[in-house]
Structure 1
Amino acid sequence: MNYTLHQLLVFLKVVETCSITKAAEELHLTQPAVSIQLKNFQDQFEIPLTEVLGRKIQITEFGYEIAKLVKPILDQINSIEEKTLAFKGQLTGKLRISVVSTGKYVMPYFLGDFMKLHKGVDLVMDVTNKSKVLESLENNEVDFALLSILPKDMNLEYMDLLDNDLYLVGDKKSTLEIRNYSEDIFKDLPLIFREKGSGTRQTMERFIEGSKINIQKKMELTSNEAVKQAVLAGLGYSIMPLIGIKNELQSGQLKIIPVNGLPITTKWRLVWLKGKKHMPVPNAFLDFLNTEKCRILDTFFADLV
C-alpha cells in the first residue's frame, strides 16, 4: 500500500459530495484529475470503494468504512499545519459563516483582506435560504450569520455592515415611464416574489400590506438570481435589493421604476448569538471589521452608500 495524502483528500471529498464534478469544484481541480486520483487510490484495494449506477457514482459500504479512517488522518495533518503556523505567530483555525442568498453579493468583500492577512484561517461560508441560516445560528453551528431582517424570537448581537435598499425593478422593454407612481401601480403589475421565509419576500410583503394593495397577478421563485432572470426575461416586476442588480442597472438591462414609499431600506447585519464566547479567529474578524469596515465600504460600495 502506498497512499498519498492527495489521494486521501480526493477520495474523502468524493465520499462527502457523492460526485466527481462537485469534488473537483471544491478542490479546484479538473474532473479528469479527480478521476485519476480516485482510480490510483482504488487500485490499491481488491474491494471496490465506489461503483457507478446509471450515471451516478455511489460509495460502497467498504468505501464508507475507509472514509471513516481517512478523515481523522487528514484532520491530524491539518492540525500539524495549524500548529506550525501558530508557532510562527500566525492566526489559525476556522471561520464559519452562514449567509442568506442575496448576501453573497456582500459578504465576500468584507472577508477578502482578512483572509489574505491570515493564511492559516480556513473559511467555511454556507450560502443558503434564511430558514437554514437561522437554524445553523440557533444550533450554534456557525460563528456568524449575515441577515437583512433580524428574527424577533432570537437573542442576538450584531454589527451593521451596509444599507440594503430595495426598489421596484422592471426589464429594459418595460413600458412604464421613469416617473413617480403611487402604490396603486402594483394592482396591475405581474409581481415576482421570492419564496416564503425569504427576507426579501418579508420586506416586499410588509410594504404591500402596509400600503393596503390588492395584488392580482404574482409568481414565486426560490432565489434572488431566479427572480432577476425572470425580470430580465420580461415575465414581470419585483422589489429587489440594489446590491444584487447594480451591474444590470448600469448596463441598461434593468431599470428602477420610482414608486412612492420606495426604496425600502433595511440593514445588512453580521449577527451572532448573544453571550457567545468567540474563539480567537471570530474575535480577530470582529476586530478587523471594526477597524476596516469604512475602508471596505468606500472601496467596494461607494455607489451604494
Structure 2
Amino acid sequence: MNYTLHQLQVFLKITETKSITKAAVELHLTQPAVSIQLRNLQNQFEIPLTEIIGRQLYVTDFGKEIAKASERILEEVNAISYKTMAYKGILSGKIKISVVSTGKYVMPYFLSEFANKNKGIEIEMDVTNKTRVIKALKNNEVDFALVSILPSDLNVESEVLMQNKLFLVGNKNILLDRNIKIDELLSESPLIYREVGSATRISMEKFIYDKGINARMKLQLTSNEAVKQAVIAGLGLSIMPLIGLKNELENGDIQILPIKELPIITNWRLIWLKEKKLSPIALAYLQFLTENKERINNENFSWINLY
C-alpha cells in the first residue's frame, strides 16, 4: 500500500459530501485533481470504494470502512502535530463547534481573537439548524454548540455570550399606526416562518401561542437570509433576530414594527455536555470567553442597545 495522507483526506471529503464536485469546492481543488486522487487511491484496492448509479456517487460498504480508518489515521497524524507544538509551549488542538444558522452573525466575533493569538489551533465550525446542532452535541461530535434556546433533554453547562432580541419586522413600504396591536396586525398580514426545528420558529410560535394570536402562515423558509429577502420583497412579516438585520435596518430595507409586546428576549449561549471531559484547548477557550466576552460585546455589538 502506497496511499498518501492527501489521498485519504480527499477520499474522506468525498464520503462526507457524496460528490466529487462538492469535495473539490470544500478542499479548494479542481474537480480533475480530486478525481485523480480518488483514482490513485482506488487503484490500491481490488474492491470498489465508490460507485456511480445514474449520476449519483455512492460510497460502498467497503469504502465506508476505509473512510472510518482514514479518519482515525488523520486524527492520529493531527495528534502528533498538536503534541509537537505542545512540547514547544504552543497551545494547540482542534475545537469543533456546531452553530445554529443565525449564530453565524455571533460566533466568529468570539473566535477570531483567540484563533489569531493561538496559531497552533484549528477551528471547525458547522452552521446548521437547531435540531442538527443538538444532535451533533448529543452524539459527542462537537465540543461546543451555540444556541439561543437550551435543549430540554440534555444535561449541559453553558456560558452566556450576549442577548438575543427578536422583533416583528416588515419592509420599508409598511405604514403603521403606532398604537396597533399585534393580534390585529397578524390577523390581517401574512407571517413568514422559519422551518420546523429552528430556534427562531420555536420562539415565534411560543409567543404567538401565549398571546392567543391567530396568525396566517404565508411561507416557510429554511434560512434567516431567505426570510429576510422575502420580507424585503413584501411577501409578509416575520419575527426575526435583530443580530442579522444590522445592514438592512441601516439601509432602510427593513423596519422594526412598533409592537409594545416585543422584543422577545433570549440569550446566545455556548453550551457543552456536562459530563464531557474538555480538552486543554477547549478549557483555554472557555477561560478566554469568561475574561473577554464583555469587551467583545462592547466592541462589536453595542449597536444592539439602540433597539
The amino acid that maps onto 2:91 is L
Checking the alignment, whether the CA contact within 8 Å between 1:181 and 1:260 is kept in structure 2 is no
Checking the alignment, whether the CA contact within 8 Å between 2:193 and 2:217 is kept in structure 1 is no
- What is aligned with 1:92? 92
The amino acid that maps onto 1:285 is Y
- What is aligned with 1:260? 260
Question: Following the alignment from structure 2 to structure 1, what is the Cα–Cα distance between the partners of residues 243 and 205?
Answer: 19
- What is aligned with 2:123? 123
Residue 192 (structure 2) pairs with residue 182 (structure 1): no
Which is worse superposed, 42-51 or 125-134? 42-51
- What is aligned with 1:161? 161
- What is aligned with 1:14? 14
Checking the alignment, whether the CA contact within 8 Å between 1:176 and 1:257 is kept in structure 2 is no
* RMSD, aligned α-carbons: 2.6
Question: Following the alignment from structure 2 to structure 1, what is the Cα–Cα distance between the partners of residues 276 and 73?
Answer: 30
Checking the alignment, whether the CA contact within 8 Å between 1:156 and 1:271 is kept in structure 2 is yes
Checking the alignment, whether the CA contact within 8 Å between 1:131 and 1:197 is kept in structure 2 is yes
- What is aligned with 1:132? 132
Question: Following the alignment from structure 2 to structure 1, what is the Cα–Cα distance between the partners of residues 179 and 259?
Answer: 5
Which is worse superposed, 63-72 or 1-10? 63-72
- What is aligned with 1:81? 81
The 1:271/1:46 distance shift into structure 2, 3 A limit, reads closer
Question: Following the alignment from structure 1 to structure 2, what is the Cα–Cα distance between the partners of residues 285 and 161?
Answer: 13
Which is worse superposed, 233-242 or 4-13? 4-13
Q: Show CA shifts across 1:64-97 (max 9, x none).
A: 4544554443333222211211111122222122
- Structure 1 unaligned residues grouped into runs of 5+: none
Which is worse superposed, 37-46 or 189-198? 37-46
Q: Show CA shifts across 1:171-207 (max 9, x none).
A: 23x3324745322222111011223332212221232
- What is aligned with 2:28? 28
Normalization by structure 1: what TM-score? Answer: 0.87
The 1:132/1:4 distance shift into structure 2, 3 A limit, reads closer
Indicate the SS of the match to 1:303: helix
Q: How far is the alpha carbon of 1:159 from its aligned partner?
A: 1.6
- Structure 2 unaligned residues grouped into runs of 5+: none
The 1:21/1:252 distance shift into structure 2, 3 A limit, reads farther
Q: Show CA shifts across 1:110-167 (max 9, x none).
A: 1112122223323232322222323333444432221112234544332211111111
Checking the alignment, whether the CA contact within 8 Å between 1:167 and 1:257 is kept in structure 2 is yes
The amino acid that maps onto 1:118 is N
Which is worse superposed, 191-200 or 151-160? 151-160
Q: How far is the alpha carbon of 1:242 from its aligned partner?
A: 0.8
Checking the alignment, whether the CA contact within 8 Å between 2:159 and 2:269 is kept in structure 1 is yes
Indicate the SS of the match to 2:304: coil
The 1:216/1:272 distance shift into structure 2, 3 A limit, reads same
The 1:6/1:242 distance shift into structure 2, 3 A limit, reads same
Normalization by structure 2: what TM-score? Answer: 0.87
Question: Following the alignment from structure 1 to structure 2, what is the Cα–Cα distance between the partners of residues 75 and 216?
Answer: 50
The 1:196/1:2 distance shift into structure 2, 3 A limit, reads closer
- What is aligned with 1:53? 53
Question: Following the alignment from structure 1 to structure 2, what is the Cα–Cα distance between the partners of residues 223 and 156?
Answer: 26
Question: Following the alignment from structure 1 to structure 2, what is the Cα–Cα distance between the partners of residues 114 and 95?
Answer: 11
Which is worse superposed, 196-205 or 260-269? 196-205
Indicate the SS of the match to 1:304: helix
Q: How far is the alpha carbon of 1:270 from its aligned partner?
A: 1.2
